[in-house]
Amino acid sequence: MSPAKVPAERTATLKDVAEHAGVSPMTVSRALNKPETVSDALRARIDAAIDALGYVQNHVAGALASAGSNVIPVIVPSLSNTVFVEIVAGIQEVAQAAGYQLMLGNTEYDLEREYTAVSTFLGWSPPGMIIAGMRHLDRTRHLLKRWGKPVVETMEFGAQPIDMNVGLSHYKAGEAMAEHLVARGYRQIVFVGCRLDADYRAAQRYKGMDRVLAKHGLARREALSYEEPSNPARGGDALMEVLSMKPKADAIFFANDDLAVGAILRAQREGIAVPKRIAIAGFNGLPFASLVTPALTTIMSPRHEIGRIAAQQLIERISGRTPTKRRVDVSFEMQVREST
């Protein structure tokens, strides 16, 4: 049943190490956690004992005794969207280097599940938490506020964070792209996304766009939202639908680059002139965006950077230092290319 060939000898404890090295358990504990407070001689003996016994520290016991673990929970709405993965990767990079472990929670865009995840994670006595988004159940906000430890909300930049916040304004991103399209002369602009009810950040980009269209007195339309998750093929199909259903449309602002690149690849295959017949714009700044023909106009969001900064801010606070800012607005960058 178990792969062990070796008889399941009781695993060595810190006490065993202490006896083997002829010191007190407390000294071993210190040698492990604050090596500089133990004399070289003892440290050497202890290290030898650890090797001899194959001792591995029991972090569970450590966390209980010291009422705090080095585990940082990270809660995201999805792992199938590269955007969140890149943020997790950024967090991981910084956190692991600082000696923290990441615990991963996936809410599938469900705020109830988010609450459950937060609640469960609190039971691991983490020193802080990172959570995507700023929309949570009241219960969730209260729980985290009452908890009182550092929390970073990521992805979007918004008002009244639970504690800290690192992200960008999706509303402004939508505005920026709309201004660009309007300046380029496009007048019939359609917004296309997937699951805009759940992906409220994409919806915010739509709202930003809508405001700009209104400001310029241009035709405003409902956003086109598909039920399936974003994927490139969907982007291509959406392009064809827009062309046939709304032939007057002269530009599409896609909720993300997966859709937009999919649309460009489809246009190419179908021989549709982009941007002449219809312009295409995206959001995120995927690597493929600059390589397709025509190259995609998009907005680069610094996902990895958001993750890194979030982790840095959190660790800063965990270590008792005051972070530079509570709220960080990482800026996005318009990348105007051939598709508009």
CB nearer to DNA: pick between 124 and 288 = 124
Please list the alpha-helical segments (H only) found in 195-297.
Answer: 200-215, 232-245, 257-270
Q: Quick one: which segment of 40-48, 141-149, 176-184, 191-199 binds its own copies (CB under 8 A)?
A: 141-149
Question: In the set 80, 216, 220, 319, which binds its own copies (CB under 8 A)?
Answer: 80
Q: How far is the CB of 129 from its own copies (least distance, A)?
A: 11
Q: Residue 103 binds which entry of DNA, its own copies, none, with Cβ cut-offs from 5 to 8 Å by kind?
A: its own copies
Question: In the set 44, 48, 52, 64, which binds its own copies (CB under 8 A)?
Answer: 64
* DSSP per-residue string spanning 60-98: HHHHHHTT--SEEEEEES-SSSHHHHHHHHHHHHHHHHT
Q: Residue 32 binds which entry of DNA, its own copies, none, with Cβ cut-offs from 5 to 8 Å by kind?
A: DNA
Touching its own copies, residues 204-263 (CB under 8 A):
231-233, 236, 258, 261-262
CB nearer to DNA: pick between 72 and 212 = 72
The binding track of 255-294 with respect to its own copies, each residue x by CB under 8 A or -, is ---x--xx--xx-xx-----------------xx-xxxx-
Q: How far is the CB of 71 from DNA (least distance, A)?
A: 14
CA distance 70 to 254: 40
CA distance 131 to 327: 14
The binding track of 1-20 with respect to its own copies, each residue x by CB under 8 A or -, is xxxxxx-x------------
- Count the residues of the shown chain that bind its own copies, applying the rule CB under 8 A: 73
Backbone φ/ψ region at 108: left (φ over 0), alpha (ψ -120 to 50), beta: left
| Residue 145 CB neighbours (<10 A) | 11
CB nearer to its own copies: pick between 230 and 340 = 230
CA distance 259 to 253: 10
Q: Residue 45 binds which entry of its own copies, DNA, none, with Cβ cut-offs from 5 to 8 Å by kind?
A: none
| Token pair listed for 279 | 């312009």
Q: What is the largest CA-CA distance in the chain?
A: 85
Which positions lie near DNA, rule CB under 7 A?
A: 10-11, 13-15, 23-27, 29-30, 32-33, 37-39, 41-42, 57-58, 61-62, 64-67
CA-closest candidate to residue 339, choices 238, 250, 220, 229: 250
Q: Residue 211 binds which entry of DNA, its own copies, none, with Cβ cut-offs from 5 to 8 Å by kind?
A: none
CA distance 55 to 16: 9
| Token pair listed for 78 | 């999805």
Burial of 324 (0-12, 13-18, 19+ CB in 10 A): exposed
Q: How far is the CB of 208 from its own copies (least distance, A)?
A: 28
CB nearer to DNA: pick between 32 and 117 = 32
